[in-house]
């Protein structure tokens, strides 16, 4: 089970605490949409390598764009 799935199963009072860690710069909804991708990246290595960090950022933006496109299509299908 992914870390994000485990977080989602917490009691509401703990979920509210988790929500406090997220802000408008990186909303919890983004964490939810990209949970699997985020958990599969080598963030520790990227923290010591600017080139790798830049590539991860670019890939994060690509993943986000793809997910938002998918969500938009799903919304249009429901209308």
**For a pLDDT cut of 70, what percent of the chain falls above it?**
95
Q: For all residues of the chain together, what is the average pLDDT?
A: 85
- Structural domain containing residue 39: 3-78
Read off the CATH number of the domain in which 66 is found: 1.10.532.10
Predicted local distance difference test score (pLDDT) of residue 13:
82
Q: pTM higher than 0.85, yes or no?
A: no
Predicted local distance difference test score (pLDDT) of residue 40:
95
The total of structural domains in the chain comes to 1
The pLDDT tens digits of the residues spanning 3-41 come to: 877 877 878 888 778 777 777 777 878 888 898 999 999
Predicted local distance difference test score (pLDDT) of residue 39:
92
How does DSSP assign 4-67, residue by residue? HHHHHTS-HHHHHHHHHH--TTS-HHHHHHTHHHHHTS-HHHHHT-HHHHHHHHHHHHHHHHHH
């Amino acid at each position: 089970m992914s870390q994000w799935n485990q977080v989602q199963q917490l009691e509401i009072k703990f979920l509210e605490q988790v929500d406090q860690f997220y802000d408008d710069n990186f909303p919890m909804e983004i964490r939810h949409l990209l949970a699997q991708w985020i958990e599969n990246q080598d963030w520790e290595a990227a923290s010591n390598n600017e080139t790798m960090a830049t590539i991860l950022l670019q890939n994060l933006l690509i993943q986000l764009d793809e997910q938002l496109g998918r969500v938009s299509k799903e919304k249009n299908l429901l209308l």
